[in-house]
């Protein structure tokens, strides 16, 4: 079962993997035609009521496969308002084939006559809310007909994720949905056909460009809507927490705080005027700092814990105390990772180990990425947290769903790239669930590295990744 949001991601990922949407549309239209044949005899009349998006495009294709029927296609709008190139191309193909294809520019002009079968292809899974005109009047006409109604993907007017309708909705006799069942369809006491349209399994396994669709930003957003992050790090090192904190901003967070020992606070502040640095007494993290950190953590959306902290015994004890008392979202990195398996916490954690750190946590690994993915999934389920295990093939798993990222290159073996990744993950964890935050972060971090190498060759630095991150996350601007 797959949600409408996930289906949109998978569609886009399939295209990124070399399966064009036009090919998927052809398969979808063919699948609908096969179901129509179950309800109609040769010579029967079939009316296809089509919207201006890809749902309508599927039906344009369907019409071409129904040569043995008396077919009419009713486009709700003008040809110029069709929203995608592939749907428009398939509409034009109907004209060239001289199939009866009509435009409906006024809801009062909808004339379905008395067809034997009606195909509802007005709106697909990505549309929610009450039907507007001319779709609302078209739905009334469809429901008033005695024809058998076949809905494409989901009955128009119905939320594919909930099965609920905000107003009038098409009353379907059969639903043809694609790739996987949709949650809301369980609410209907009608036959549902789930059609395999050729989307490869890899479109769900591998993190691809389609996953970036999760990062839509409200144009009416305000400061703070996209998250604030507290990076807890530093002491032995200064660059690591500074890189993580700057990465949170490059990845879209609105505010980035750094809590660090006072001995390194000025140096960390010197990396960027955009960071809000808050100093802790002493030269390393210790138990007396925990109450203050917990108080500060309540004011942000995510904590990134670990960059540059070191492994002083008192520091690791403080990490354990913090996690034991914390109930928010945290990304745990570097030396702080070794504490996680021994702590009972109500926090939502994303752990970002490389394979050596994974072993320190008590996990195992393997050279083959497929075997490693299974091992990581088992360990994530045992821990009860999300794991992002860094390698040439990054593995992300929460124990239920596992994703694999293939972006990145050998130039990223340079120090600091993991600190950048931790910061990106922290920023995305403010707006996405932990698994998706980790998956998109892995993709973007690696993609940033690929952008740098393509432009400048090997010899990149972690600072170079910071500069390339916005382009990696929002390639279309």
Per-residue pLDDT tens over the stretch 26-75: 999 999 999 999 999 999 999 999 999 999 999 999 999 999 999 999 99
Give SS3 for 446: helix
Residues 163, 159: Cα–Cα separation, whole Å? 5
Q: Can you list the residues of the chain whose pLDDT is less than 50?
A: none
Tokens coding 224: 């703070």
Strand order in the sheet with 302-305: 276-280, 255-261, 228-232, 302-305, 329-332, 348-351, 386-389, 394-397, 402-405
The set of residues, in sequence order, having a beta carbon less than 8 Å from that of 173 and lying 6+ positions away, is 39, 148, 149, 150, 190, 191
Q: Quick one: pLDDT at residue 121?
A: 97
The set of residues, in sequence order, having a beta carbon less than 8 Å from that of 123 and lying 6+ positions away, is 51, 53, 55, 131, 135, 154, 156, 157
Q: Quick one: pLDDT at residue 84?
A: 93
Q: Quick one: pLDDT at residue 106?
A: 84
Q: Quick one: pLDDT at residue 372?
A: 97
Residue with tokens 């798993």, as numbered in its chain: 397
Report in angstroms the alpha-carbon separations of 409 from 418, 451, 452. 13, 10, 10
How many other C-beta atoms can be found within 10 angstroms of the C-beta atom of residue 305?
32
Residues 457, 191: Cα–Cα separation, whole Å? 56
CB 242 within 8 Å of CB 56: no
Q: Quick one: pLDDT at residue 129?
A: 83
């Amino acid at each position: 079962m797959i949600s409408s949001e996930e289906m949109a991601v998978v569609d886009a990922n399939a295209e990124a993997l070399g399966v064009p949407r036009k090919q998927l549309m052809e398969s979808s239209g063919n699948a609908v035609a096969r179901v129509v044949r179950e309800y109609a005899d040769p010579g029967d009349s079939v009316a296809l009521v089509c919207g201006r998006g890809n749902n309508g495009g599927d039906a344009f294709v369907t019409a071409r496969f129904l040569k043995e029927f008396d077919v009419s296609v009713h486009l709700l709008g003008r040809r110029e308002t069709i929203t995608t190139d592939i749907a428009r191309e398939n509409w034009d193909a109907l004209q060239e084939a001289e199939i009866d294809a009509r435009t409906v520019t006024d809801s009062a002009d909808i004339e379905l006559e008395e067809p034997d079968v009606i195909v509802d292809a007005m709106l697909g899974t990505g549309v929610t809310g009450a039907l507007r005109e001319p779709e609302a009047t078209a739905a009334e006409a469809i429901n008033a007909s005695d024809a058998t109604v076949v809905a494409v993907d989901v009955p128009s007017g119905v939320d594919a994720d909930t099965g609920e309708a905000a107003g009038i909705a098409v009353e379907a006799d059969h639903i043809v949905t694609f790739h996987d069942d949709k949650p809301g369809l369980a609410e209907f006491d009608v036959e549902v056909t789930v059609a395999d349209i050729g989307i490869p399994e890899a479109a769900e396994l591998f993190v691809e460009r389609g996953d970036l669709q999760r990062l839509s930003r409200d144009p009416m957003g305000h400061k703070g809507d996209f998250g604030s992050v507290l990076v807890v790090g530093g002491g032995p090192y200064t660059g690591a927490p500074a890189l993580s904190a700057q990465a949170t901003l490059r990845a879209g967070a609105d505010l980035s705080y750094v809590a660090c020992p006072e001995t390194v606070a000025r140096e960390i502040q010197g990396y960027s005027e955009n960071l809000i640095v808050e100093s802790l007494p002493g030269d390393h993290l210790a138990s007396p700092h925990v109450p203050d950190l917990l108080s500060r953590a309540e004011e942000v959306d995510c904590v990134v814990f670990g960059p540059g902290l070191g492994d002083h015994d008192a520091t690791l004890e403080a990490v354990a105390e913090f996690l034991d008392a914390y109930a928010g979202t945290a990304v745990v990195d570097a030396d702080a990772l070794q504490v996680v398996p021994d702590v009972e916490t109500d926090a939502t954690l994303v752990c970002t180990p490389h394979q050596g750190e994974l072993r320190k946590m008590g996990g195992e690994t393997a050279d083959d990425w497929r075997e490693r993915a299974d091992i990581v999934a088992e360990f994530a389920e045992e821990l009860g947290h999300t794991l992002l295990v860094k390698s040439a093939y990054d593995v992300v798993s929460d124990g239920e769903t596992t994703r694999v990222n293939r972006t990145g290159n050998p130039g990223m073996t340079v120090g600091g790239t993991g600190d950048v990744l931790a910061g990106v993950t922290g920023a995305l964890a403010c707006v996405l669930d932990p698994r998706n935050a980790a998956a998109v972060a892995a993709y973007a971090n690696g993609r940033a590295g690929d952008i740098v190498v393509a432009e400048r060759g090997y010899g990149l630095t972690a600072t170079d990744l910071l500069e390339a991150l916005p382009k990696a996350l929002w390639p279309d601007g």
